[in-house]
Structure 1
Amino acid sequence: MMLKLSLLMAVISLAVPLSVFAEEHGHNQVSTPYAGFEAREIKSLSAQDVAELRRGGGWGLALPAELSGLPGPAHLLELQEELALSRDQVAAITLMFEEMQAEAIAAGERFIAAEAAVSAAFEDAAVPQEELSSLLTIAAEARASLRLVHLSRHLATPALLTDEQVQ
């Protein structure tokens, strides 16, 4: 009887501090930064993320290149007047952009599908670790492939520009 009472008291003493901790650290439903995310079809992607990926947008995946002064074809086309791009340059960059966008759309769809599979696995809280590991590997590879599509084009753009345009 004493053992049961001691165990009950231990459980109660843990429950109170944990609930207080949850409230103090924003783990209640009102103040969580993820409020509303549970309604997402794909938990890790917003509707805006999915739309950006489906249109072949950059989704911030090429930041290392952008911030190192290697523009992508979309930005070059946006700035073609300021950069005084020739017709030949515009044609080459447009072709690069169209190819990149087509590849990015396909890679984005693979990434969306992989993230959807991860979300679906968590609908059953008993997803086996081996299955989870496989799903995460597929999602990571899909994201890396998508990122490669964008970053590789940033590496290719300087060859189409003059030194002055790169500056």
Structure 2
Amino acid sequence: MQYRFAFAAFALAASFVHAADSPYAGQERRSIKALSEQEIADYRHGRGMRTSLAAELNHYPGPRHVLEHAQALDLSQEQQARTRQLQEDMAREAARLGERIVQKEAELEALFAGGKANHDSMRSIVGEIGMLQAEYRAVHLGAHLSMQQLLSREQIAEYDRLRGYGGTNPGGGGHKHGMMHGKMGHD
């Protein structure tokens, strides 16, 4: 009896070790091996997917989150309208690019799945994916840049507080924001 228990425990432990050695186990069943279903959906909907953290965590708010906190940020009607337009434009362009990324990843998948991959074909598709991912990220970061110009320093500081970010000076240095106290200004 003890022998069977020890053998079962050993077999169970070995299966855990084997699974730990295979972090991709199960992913071979994905339609596009390089992307999870969530990543595919995120690209197709133009979601941020952490592409804007350099902006978001350095006092360049994102339009979607600004809209979520519109009341607490005391946005003017003009700020709300411009933020909505910025969010819609960003989401539309990001979704367009995201769809192209998914298509190119599917092409890369088909190339390897069909046994037709070679260095030239692989490099060509990977290069296209890289350019599309750079454009996708630039669209998101650009929206953060534009958003910062619509808010006052006080609104950005409140945004950071609402989002749980602490620490440093919003807007960095002596940068003037385009929207000060609800009125348009110039840099």
TM-score, reference length from structure 2: 0.71
Change (3 A) 1:27 1:138: farther
Matched ranges for 1:14-33 at <5 A: 28=18, 31-33=21-23
Matches within 5 A, 1:81-120: 81-120=71-110
Return closer, same or farther for 1:80/1:45 CA change in 2, 3 Å cut-off.
Answer: same
**Which residue of structure 2 lines up, in the alignment, with residue 75 of structure 1?**
65
Aligned residues between the structures: 143
How far the C-alpha of 1:127 sits from its partner, in A, is 1.3
SS at match of 2:59: coil
Whichever structure has more helix as a proportion of its residues is 1
How is 1:47-58 mapped onto 2 (pairs within 5 angstroms)? 47-58=37-48
Letter paired with 2:48: G
Query: Deviations along 1:72-123, whole A, 9 cap, x unmatched?
Result: 1111111111211111111000000001111011010011111111111111
Q: Which amino acid aligns with 2:104?
A: A
Name the residue aligned to 1:66.
56
Query: Quick one: which amino acid aligns to residue 73 of structure 1?
Result: P
Q: Distance in 2 between matches of 1:94 and 1:30?
A: 45
Q: Deviations over 1:3-37 (max 9, x none)?
A: xxxxxxxxxxxxxxxxxxxxx9x995675211111
Residue 71 of structure 1 aligns to a residue whose secondary structure is coil
> Do the aligned residues in 2 keep the contact of 1:100 with 1:150 (CA within 8 Å)?
yes
**Structure 1 vs Structure 2 CA RMSD:** 1.9
Q: Contact between 1:114 and 1:142, CA under 8 Å: does it hold in 2?
A: no
When the two structures are superposed, what TM-score results if normalisation uses the length of structure 1?
0.79
Name the residue aligned to 2:124.
134
Runs of at least 4 residues of structure 1 off by over 4 A? 26-31
Unaligned runs of 5+ in 1: 1-23
Q: Does 1:44 align with 2:34?
A: yes
Identity %: 37
